[in-house]
Structure 1
């Protein structure tokens, strides 16, 4: 899980910072502003290979897991990716900070330079200053909305 997350954080972040890769590869995934389950793996085939297939394969090879464990790992990674895009608060979110709300913030225009981590942990975002914290607010018609926490501006003019 750590190997997969490390690989995906840096490749995902690079796809956002490299204008060519974003325009021609990753932007297809970001046409989905409000994530939904079937859109989880909606991406350019090259992105699908380099993000999902390569990261899971690398995690499998580096860890030396058994074929049975690999089946569980690949299934969990796919389930987690769909879960992060389903716009629902599910029990798995109680265990992992990388959840629907965290990833939903990333899909908003104000959050595209934040919350690159996927699919399990958020430590790389916190370590490299790309973590955008959020609050959950109840919607009038039911459900929850994830809202970014406003960054206060310090006396020296820079946000905290």
Structure 2
């Protein structure tokens, strides 16, 4: 049987071991909180995307169907028959208020995201909108890979025979699909190089 003197080295380990449990326990809890926080952020981003898409689809479509709003407000944006990046936010101030400011406020409030998270979300949404109006189909563009609502999709909407279709923006094409305003397109090579987005003949004839 060990003597008290022989037990001294072991007794010195007891405080260390007693501290080890709460430290590792806190690390585990911190990892769980971090995992939970990541899940919450993803959920908030997704909810905000759905809210913004829903608001912008119906307001955007209404601006096309209301002759007064289209003539005096939304037509300013549609002067861009050929979209380009800086034209993404080229619109009437009232349209900016109705579509972007109010839509952004609703997505922020209904998603429950923090002000810090909203900075990343609105930056992401702005970059996405600019890309949708860039008029380019660049290889490896992640927006084209992950979103069917992209520069070609929105380019159709800006064409003269496509402005009654493809109202969805800036993320998904869900509402266009559900409500029959979806216009499929094909990418065709131009004689001088590059690609051109063209609607299918059936939709064009309608």
TM-score normalised by the chain length of structure 1? 0.92
1:94 matched residue in structure 2:
145
1:45 matched residue in structure 2:
93
| Structure 1 vs Structure 2 CA RMSD | 1.4
Pairing partner for 2:117 from 61, 69, 78: 69
1:118 partnered with 2:169:
yes
1:144 matched residue in structure 2:
195
- 2: CA distance between counterparts of 1:57 and 1:140? 45
- 1: CA distance between counterparts of 2:188 and 2:154? 16
Aligned length: 154
Pairing partner for 1:131 from 171, 179, 182: 182
Task: Please list, as runs of the form range in 1=range in 2, the aligned pairs for 1:30-41 lying within 5 A after superposition.
Answer: 30-41=78-89
2:83 is paired with a residue whose SS is: coil
Q: Which has the higher contact order (CA 8 A, sep 6+)?
A: 1
TM-score normalised by the chain length of structure 2? 0.72
Q: As a proportion of its length, which structure holds more helix?
A: 2
- 1: CA distance between counterparts of 2:202 and 2:193? 27
1:140 is paired with a residue whose SS is: coil
1:28 matched residue in structure 2:
76
List per-residue Cα deviations over 1:36-59 (Å, max 9, x = no partner): 001110000000111111111110
2:14 matched residue in structure 1:
none
Return the index of the structure with the highest Cα Rg. Answer: 2
2:161 is paired with a residue whose SS is: helix
1:58 partnered with 2:106:
yes
- 1: CA distance between counterparts of 2:68 and 2:85? 27
Deviation at 1:68, TM superposition (A): 2.2
Task: Please list, as runs of the form range in 1=range in 2, the aligned pairs for 1:74-85 lying within 5 A after superposition.
Answer: 74-85=122-133
Deviation at 1:32, TM superposition (A): 0.6
Deviation at 1:92, TM superposition (A): 1.1
